Chains A and B, each alone.
Chain A
Amino acid sequence: MKAGEIVDRIKQQLGVPWRDATYRDTFKSGGPETEVTGIATTCFVTLDVIKRASAAGLNLIIPHEDTFWNDRDDSAIVERDPLYQEKRALLTAKNIAVFRIHDHMHAQRPDFTYVGSARAVGLDPKHEDPPGSHRFVIPETTLAALAADVKKRTGARALRVVGDPKAKVSRIRLGVGYASPPIDAPDVDVLISGEQQESDGTFDSQPYALDAATLGIVKGLILLGHTVSEEAGMLEMAQWIKSFVPEVSVQLIKAEEPMWGPAPR
């Protein structure tokens, strides 16, 4: 079957109207006419993901994020780099189509990025109050114990934490990717999210959590990293696509965490 048919089914099944204005959720390689042998979902179309997907016989890659190292996949920014040409050539040689699903994945209910992230960090849906709010009330623990548990469950080697390790916490707010909600909400002890700029944003959670710790005010920030935060939900995405594309194999091919961090001193 053709990539275009699969994309059409995604649009039909989504449950929310498709917004043609999106620059993100488009073909980045190949196109509707590409004959599909199998589907790989992932967070990032890395060189390694391309090779592993191809080896598994999957030639439609559906990533959540960009392919060419900028959000718009604007070739003008990257085309002077030989690696861009190499990546393009590899995609062409392996006859791989790439169709990104980002904006519509976040618009869909449930938003699988949250479902996957909650599962990955060990937040139980029965603790989400109200359901779908991304707010969880868990049995009281310390920020240190929570962060250690999250690190163990996710295997995230480059996870970062701000706040007093001894702070007693129970009210967790989950964010995903770069869309971190501000940490200053009075009903949030800990924000768990993917990536957040340290300053000059509309709200800078790191400096705020740092000052809160100085004051003895409970605020913790656990940053998983972008891929660790959002890749888990690409499993749900794969399962969902499989439910209405039974003709071909659909698998999660993980990009995996790109970074490591030295052991704490």
Chain B
Amino acid sequence: MTQLSRREFAALAAGAAVSPLAIGLSPAQAASITAQELIDRIRAQIGVAWKPETVDGVKAGEPTTVVTGIVTTALASLSVLQQAVKAGANVVIASQPVFYAKADARTPPARRGPGGPAGPGGSPPAGASQAPAAAAAPAEPPPADAVFTAKNAFIDQHKLVVIRLSDHWRLREPDPLAQGLGAAMGWTSLQVAGNPRRYDVPALTVAALVAALEKKLGANGGLRVVGDPKTNVRRIGILPGSTAIQASLELLPSVDAIVGGEVREWESVEYARDVVAAGGKKALILVGRIVSEEPGMRVCADWLKTIAPGLPVRHIAAGDPYWRPA
């Protein structure tokens, strides 16, 4: 993703009938809503009852901040925050946590100090390879963490507001993450029975599908495949985000290939391997959770334009976090 200049960002904002800049107002003056008012509009218009327990909400910054521009993204990485600031935006809306954990606290999680015994590690669901919990070492105050410190400092310095929008966005109908992924692949007109998770595409090999996914989703080292590259596929099912075995059991029997984000390897990867071994001419293609949710956050940017007219809104892809050596 190339970085945008303020001018380019303003030009993008000019999609509205009257650009705030064209009438001599800053975007903030034109719309003049606070981050909290933006959240209130999201809650009122998202079409999903707001959950009492949710990961969604402000993760950093002051809700009273007047919004100058909005960037949506799958991951509010430091790089995305930097690009947002360059583009003149001060609100970033992401589908993943900002501070490296579901708890999403601005300080590192308290746990054993350096050199301490390894606990079971980062795996809230009972992982297949989770070691029996070791006796927890006494919690020590976490040492200063340069990554947390720098990200917090950047957010504070630029008076950013970083919002997570995940639980409610993925419950919207039709599923904007699936819809977005289908659209990014150019498959919208090939959707089956109004189901944004199903597309019947002209037959192509798994290898060709993989190449198209790399090109159109920006998938790189994170892309992994179960199945023969030469297998022909036509019926595609998509599972953005992180999904459990139940989703694959439900979908794979009726499609030739699943394009998914992230699964647990001991579940869907092994299931797909057995399906292929049993003679199924099928494939499971994983692009990674972040990459798989990016198009859905582009859809989010388009939607936000409708509920916050006049405000510059755009999507910035975080990119594939992974690379693979030759």
Asked if B50 is an interface residue, CB under 8 A from chain A, the answer is no
Residues 199-214 of chain A, each 1 if its beta carbon lies under 8 Å from chain B, else 0: 1111111111111101
Asked if B127 is an interface residue, CB under 8 A from chain A, the answer is yes
Asked if A175 is an interface residue, CB under 8 A from chain B, the answer is yes
In the assembled complex, the Cα of A234 lies from the Cα of B32 at a distance in Å of 62
Task: Of the listed stretches A33-41, A54-62, A245-253, A256-264, name the one at the interface; the rest are far from the partner chain.
Answer: A256-264
Q: Is the CB of A198 within 8 A of B290?
A: yes
Complex partner residue of A201 from B111, B122, B268, CB under 8 angstroms = B122
A176 in contact with B124 given A199-B290, A207-B97, A207-B100 (CB within 8 Å): no
A71 in contact with B128 given A83-B275, A181-B118 (CB within 8 Å): yes
Asked if A197 is an interface residue, CB under 8 A from chain B, the answer is yes
A77 in contact with B246 given A46-B277, A199-B290, A265-B214 (CB within 8 Å): yes
Task: Of the listed stretches A4-12, A99-107, A118-126, name the one at the interface; the rest are far from the partner chain.
Answer: A99-107
Return chain B residues, CB-CB under 8 Å to A113: 129
Q: Is the CB of A161 within 8 A of B325?
A: yes
Interface centre among B75, B96, B143, B221 (most CB of A within 10 A): B221
Q: Is the CB of B128 within 8 A of A225?
A: no
CB distance from B10 to the nearest CB of A (A): 26
Return chain A residues, CB-CB under 8 Å to B115: 187
Tell me the nearest residue of chain A to B144, going by C-beta: A186
Asked if B184 is an interface residue, CB under 8 A from chain A, the answer is no
Q: Is the CB of B127 within 8 A of A177?
A: yes
Q: Is the CB of B143 within 8 A of A186?
A: yes
Q: Is the CB of B146 within 8 A of A217?
A: yes
Q: Is the CB of A198 within 8 A of B262?
A: yes
Return chain B residues, CB-CB under 8 Å to A147: 325
Chain B's interface size range is: 35 or more
Q: Is the CB of B129 within 8 A of A200?
A: no
Interface residues of A in 191-250 (CB under 8 A from B): 194-212, 214-215, 217, 219, 223, 225-227, 229-230
Interface centre among A113, A210, A260 (most CB of B within 10 A): A210
Q: Is the CB of B220 within 8 A of A264?
A: yes
Q: Is the CB of B127 within 8 A of A71?
A: yes
Q: Is the CB of B77 within 8 A of A83?
A: no
Asked if B93 is an interface residue, CB under 8 A from chain A, the answer is no
In the assembled complex, the Cα of A230 lies from the Cα of B265 at a distance in Å of 12
Interface residues of B in 239-286 (CB under 8 A from A): 242, 245-246, 249, 253, 262, 264-275, 277-278, 286
Q: Is the CB of B249 within 8 A of A230?
A: no
In the assembled complex, the Cα of A106 lies from the Cα of B318 at a distance in Å of 36
Asked if A137 is an interface residue, CB under 8 A from chain B, the answer is no
Q: Is the CB of B323 within 8 A of A214?
A: no
CB distance from A86 to the nearest CB of B (A): 6
Return chain B residues, CB-CB under 8 Å to A204: 96-97, 100-101, 122
Residues 19-32 of chain B, each 1 if its beta carbon lies under 8 Å from chain A, else 0: 00000000000000
A71 in contact with B266 given A65-B129, A261-B221 (CB within 8 Å): yes
Q: Is the CB of B221 within 8 A of A264?
A: yes
A83 in contact with B325 given A180-B121, A258-B265 (CB within 8 Å): no
Asked if A70 is an interface residue, CB under 8 A from chain B, the answer is yes
In the assembled complex, the Cα of A78 lies from the Cα of B130 at a distance in Å of 22
Return chain B residues, CB-CB under 8 Å to A215: 78, 146-147, 150
Residues 138-156 of chain B, each 1 if its beta carbon lies under 8 Å from chain A, else 0: 0000010111001100000
Residues 313-326 of chain B, each 1 if its beta carbon lies under 8 Å from chain A, else 0: 00000100111111
Complex partner residue of A69 from B226, B245, B290, CB under 8 angstroms = B245
Return chain A residues, CB-CB under 8 Å to B101: 200-204
Complex partner residue of B78 from A80, A106, A206, A214, CB under 8 angstroms = A214
Asked if B120 is an interface residue, CB under 8 A from chain A, the answer is yes
Complex partner residue of B123 from A48, A86, A178, A210, CB under 8 angstroms = A178
Asked if A115 is an interface residue, CB under 8 A from chain B, the answer is no
Return chain B residues, CB-CB under 8 Å to A265: 214, 220
Return chain A residues, CB-CB under 8 Å to B52: none
Q: Is the CB of A161 within 8 A of B324?
A: yes
In the assembled complex, the Cα of A66 lies from the Cα of B126 at a distance in Å of 13
Return chain B residues, CB-CB under 8 Å to A212: 146-147
In the assembled complex, the Cα of A250 lies from the Cα of B51 at a distance in Å of 54
Return chain A residues, CB-CB under 8 Å to B195: none
Interface centre among A160, A165, A194, A211 (most CB of B within 10 A): A211
9 A-B contact pairs sorted by A residue (CB < 8 Å): A77-B249, A179-B118, A200-B242, A206-B290, A207-B100, A208-B147, A211-B77, A261-B224, A261-B225
* A residues lining the B interface (CB < 8 Å): 19, 44, 46-48, 64-66, 69-71, 77-78, 80-81, 83, 86-87, 102-103, 106-107, 111, 113, 134, 144, 147-148, 151, 158-162, 165, 175-182, 184-187, 194-212, 214-215, 217, 219, 223, 225-227, 229-230, 258-265
Q: Assuming A179-B123, A202-B124, what are 9 further A-B pairs, CB within 8 angstroms?
A: A44-B273, A83-B271, A106-B132, A107-B131, A179-B121, A198-B321, A205-B122, A207-B290, A264-B323
Q: What 8 pairs between A and B have smallest CB-CB spacing?
A: A177-B129, A178-B127, A201-B122, A106-B131, A226-B265, A160-B322, A148-B325, A198-B289
